[in-house]
Structure formats: structure tokens, C-alpha cells
A = this chain, B = another copy of it.
């Protein structure tokens, strides 16, 4: 670590009064602080420099033409540590956590157990050549986004300004990761709840930058491209127009955003949140629209927790247009899917969903939307 890393030029002003400060961690990973109060970030990572896990590999599943990443080093991940040992809390006393400073607002740092890692500069995705297809390194980037230093809250319970800072971090990382040659798709998301396998209780999300277009966005690109060729219109524009027209599945709206249970929802509680204006990704979202996000996000997440009066396990997934293609036909939206269908019952992805990809919904989307709307906030 050199003095240069600690110079003020590591601080970059962003939107909404947020300033980003980049610092190295002991093992050469990077941490980025997103601050709004003029904090000066200089705390050094005091931990011994652990060896970084090696890069994994990717194998092509020929039966489906899909890449599978193999990250065999991840079995050592820490599993639901108590608060005193939480690696996502700020460093305090004897606990040297992932965040060297004794306080933070929002931080984004490189994942210590990444499924995907930055590859050699000459890396490229091999072509499908049947059983002769090469086995490339598992190229990509995995980052952790800590939403707050408060271990015991949740994303939906953040103050508006905190959520706005998280939004700014997502936008900043989307911009930065889009610059990397090997990155094809950027996916900020949050897994919430032990029911879906979350291993750290501290409120946090992740960002995956893939070196290939993942199967779901690939399929969404195909659908949107076909639709555009047929109707000369953006598919999600028309889908959202139908939701506004039908009205019955709308969960919340404000001047800049709309939240709805989609017409063909896959999960008992599934909510899509989209900006009213069509933009390809978080990086291209306007300040004004970004500013209006916390209000709708909080309403949606509070309604979700209110349905059964208990914190709802969910996956909250930002769907962005791919970095290099499809930017005129795919548009940004946020899909929240919950697997809980009743207080004591989860929806499992069993035979039909898992092996056939065919979803069976046990509930009408209109019913789900009604339950969400009925929650008293």
C-alpha cells in the first residue's frame, strides 16, 4: 500500500451530494466508501494479507448452451456469524472486519469469496465448439454492497437519504464496471432471508458483472428483439402500459416510478418496479428519477413485510440492458420475488419449475396485488 492510495484524488464527487473514496484492502482488494457528510476516509486495513482464492473455471453445458461457473473455494464461507463477529459491520475494537473504518454510510468492496474474478487481459469467451469447447477462467466481478453500518435493520427500513446513497453506489458501479472489456452484463441484487440461503444477516446486497450474457437476460433480449421487429416498439413500454391500463395489479406509484405484480407472475409475491421513463440501465437514470426511487422502494418493501406481518424473504434483482447490446430494446426495472406463500409455507422450485422451467403459480397475481395494497403502512 502506497501513500498515493490515500490522496484526496481518490475521492470523486457523484450525484445527490455523494462522494466516493476508494481505498485498497490488505489483500489487494478494493473498498469504496460512499459518503454524504464530508468524511475523510484513510483507515488502513489492519488484517494480515490473506491469500486470495484462485480464479475458478467456466464450463459450457452443451445440452442448454449455458455457462456454469465453478467456484470450488467457496465452501469455506462464514455462515451466519453472530453480530460480534459480523464481517460487514465497521471495524471496532478487536473485530477487524471487511470495512477498515470505524463507521460508514454505504460501502462497496470486492467479494472475498468471488464466484467470478477479473481475468487476464487476453481473456475471451470461447465459442461453442461442442465437446471441444475450451474451459475458460471464470471471468467476472463480484462485489458486496453494504447498505448501512447498522447490523440490525433492513434495506426497506433505511431512511430515504440512505437508500438514495445506495442507489448512487449502484449507478457508480454500473458505470465503472461497464468500462471493462470483458464485462457483458451487470447485475446488482439483494438476497434477503435465511430461507433463501443468506449467510450474513447484515443488510447488504451484491453486484455480479458477468463475462457472458446470462440465460435469463439472453432470453429477455430475444423476446424484446422479436417484439421490436414485429411492432417497432419497446416490449416493456407496452407491458407497463397494460399494467397502468388494467390497474388491478398496481401496488404503488409515484411521479417517476410504478410498482406492480406482473400479469404473468411466477411467484406468490412478485413485484416489478420500473421507472416511468425508458432507460437501459442505472447509469443512464436521471438524477430526478433516482431521487424518487427511495419512496417507492420503501413502500413496496414495507407492503411486502406487511402481508404476513413478518420479514419477507426475497430476491431483489435489477434487470438492466446488457452492457454492449440490446440497449435500444431492453429497459431497466427491478424485480422482487418472494418465495413465501403463507406464514408457514414457502414456494419451492420443484420438478416442474426446476427441471422443466415451467412455473406453476398457486395464486392469482390480482389476489397477490390486492393483499399487498391492503397492508396498512
Residue numbers of A with Cβ under 8 A of B are 59-72, 74-75, 79, 115, 130-131, 185, 187, 189-191, 196-198, 206, 208, 210, 214-220, 222-224, 226-227, 230-231, 235-236, 238-239, 241-242, 262-266, 315, 317, 319, 335, 337, 341-342, 345-352, 354-365, 367
CB within 8 Å for A187 and B351 given contacts A68-B266, A130-B227: yes
CB within 8 Å for A357 and B216 given contacts A130-B231, A351-B317: yes
B352 touches A65 (CB 8 A): no
Sampled A-B contacts (6; CB under 8 Å): A64-B219, A131-B242, A187-B351, A215-B357, A216-B355, A349-B349
* Bound: A361/B115 CA distance, A: 9
B315 touches A62 (CB 8 A): no
A61 touches B266 (CB 8 A): yes
Q: Decide if the interface of chain A is mainly helix, strand, loop or mixed.
A: mixed
State which of B317, B355, B357, B367 has its C-beta within 8 Å of the C-beta of A66: B357
Give the chain B neighbours of A347 by CB distance below 8 A: 197
* Bound: A60/B359 CA distance, A: 11
B362 touches A71 (CB 8 A): yes
State which of B65, B210, B235, B239 has its C-beta within 8 Å of the C-beta of A358: B210
Give the chain B neighbours of A351 by CB distance below 8 A: 187, 189-191, 206, 208, 315, 317
A223 touches B69 (CB 8 A): no
Interface centre among A63, A71, A198, A262 (most CB of B within 10 A): A63
- Nearest to A208 among chain B residues (CB) is B352
* Bound: A196/B354 CA distance, A: 11
A197 touches B350 (CB 8 A): yes
* Bound: A319/B367 CA distance, A: 34
Nearest Cβ in chain B — how far from A350, in angstroms?
A: 4
